[in-house]
Structure 1
């Protein structure tokens, strides 16, 4: 029997996402319409709308639906916004951002992730996205963005990420040490950063951004 993904998507929104204070109507509409099952690896299709992080290749993971929802709720991209996504992964968050924003630039160090995500968005008719294969910690651009979504954790927030924000721009990022990391919203206010704590979570680190091991003698 073919799974009823539309019903599963409705339950995800009503039972997982809304109770986690994701209430913006545009964000809810995107989560209720973007087919998450199109982005999930085949072995995990049965868990496409479950409240779990799903494994991808290279030791990476898809955000749980609630974390994807909270990231979108915090950023609230407008249809005039240019958005940078760090960590394309499966392309699910990319698709959600692209439905909300004017344009999305998404980068990932894994070329196979970028190629697969490009194909998925193309199949869904989403064309306002630029894809690049790059290491976020060494990638540079002269562009500045209204919003940045970082889909991995960092020990400390890289200063170069903040400098890529336009004045008034905002960034969703998770920082700190497992198992009690802190998701925050960073705002660029007249060149100064203001950080708003959102919630505690525990997600994999961005490659190169994990804490330096402390050796005990």
Structure 2
């Protein structure tokens, strides 16, 4: 079965990652070796390399391979950097494989970020807007990647800390599930 997963992993990189303009070679190399199937319940391992989100815990999902590849590439992670993975077990292992020191946050309160000064922060779920505690935990030149979503389609947002403040840019459309505990404010709708 492991050779089937290895083939599926290579196929994922060739058909979902590289075709989405993910050209960072160290990132591609990490995506080729990280066993995504080990991060989901055994009964869902067959979904690990599908072009879909996969639930790994109640209310928590791994992002689609294409989207996490694009999000990580936009963050430009480099060996030796300090990273925080928020509800992002797959991204955490990919970043560790790339040589980053990774802290994982996957408890009930995902806004309680302590011990800031991170070079890279990534979240695999969507939130309506990045919490101030996340952007506040960025080191100088640090980058945060998260999908901000209030409707059916979200936008991957890349925040960057500079000496003169915080910058934000939209990177690409994405539709990951909203993280539990981050409700969208309901408004008037037909």
TM-score (norm 1): 0.80
Aligned length: 189
Residue in 2 that maps onto 1:126: none
Whichever of the two has the greater Rg, that structure is: 1
Moved more, 149-158 or 10-19: 149-158
Say whether residues 1:136 and 2:110 are aligned partners: yes
Secondary structure of 1:177's aligned partner: coil
Say whether residues 1:30 and 2:34 are aligned partners: no
In structure 2, how many angstroms separate the alpha carbons of the residues matched to 1:96 and 1:142? 22
Residue in 2 that maps onto 1:102: 100
Assess if the C-alpha contact under 8 Å between 2:113 and 2:134 holds in 1.
Answer: no
Write out per-residue CA displacement over residues 21-54 of structure 1, whole angstroms, 9 at most, x where no aligned residue. Answer: 1110000000011112222322222222111111
In structure 2, how many angstroms separate the alpha carbons of the residues matched to 1:65 and 1:179? 19
**Runs of at least 4 residues of structure 1 off by over 6 A?**
none
In structure 1, how many angstroms separate the alpha carbons of the residues matched to 2:102 and 2:90? 13
RMSD: 1.9
Residue in 1 that maps onto 2:43: 43
Instruction: Indicate how the Cα distance of structure 1 residues 14 and 157 shifts in structure 2: closer, same or farther if over 3 A, else same.
Output: same
In structure 2, how many angstroms separate the alpha carbons of the residues matched to 1:55 and 1:85? 17
Assess if the C-alpha contact under 8 Å between 2:59 and 2:179 holds in 1.
Answer: no
Q: Where in structure 2 are the equivalents of 1:15-164 lying within 5 Å? A: 15-88=15-88, 91-109=89-107, 135-137=109-111, 139-164=112-137
Say whether residues 1:211 and 2:162 are aligned partners: no
Residue in 1 that maps onto 2:167: 194
In structure 2, how many angstroms separate the alpha carbons of the residues matched to 1:93 and 1:81? 14
Unpaired runs of at least 5, structure 1: 110-133
Secondary structure of 1:167's aligned partner: strand
Secondary structure of 2:6's aligned partner: helix
Q: Where in structure 2 are the equivalents of 1:152-191 lying within 5 Å? A: 152-191=125-164
Unpaired runs of at least 5, structure 2: none
Q: Report the alpha carbon displacement of residue 2 of structure 1 after superposing the two structures with TM.
A: 6.5
In structure 2, how many angstroms separate the alpha carbons of the residues matched to 1:2 and 1:107? 29
In structure 2, how many angstroms separate the alpha carbons of the residues matched to 1:96 and 1:149? 11
In structure 2, how many angstroms separate the alpha carbons of the residues matched to 1:142 and 1:14? 37
TM-score (norm 2): 0.90
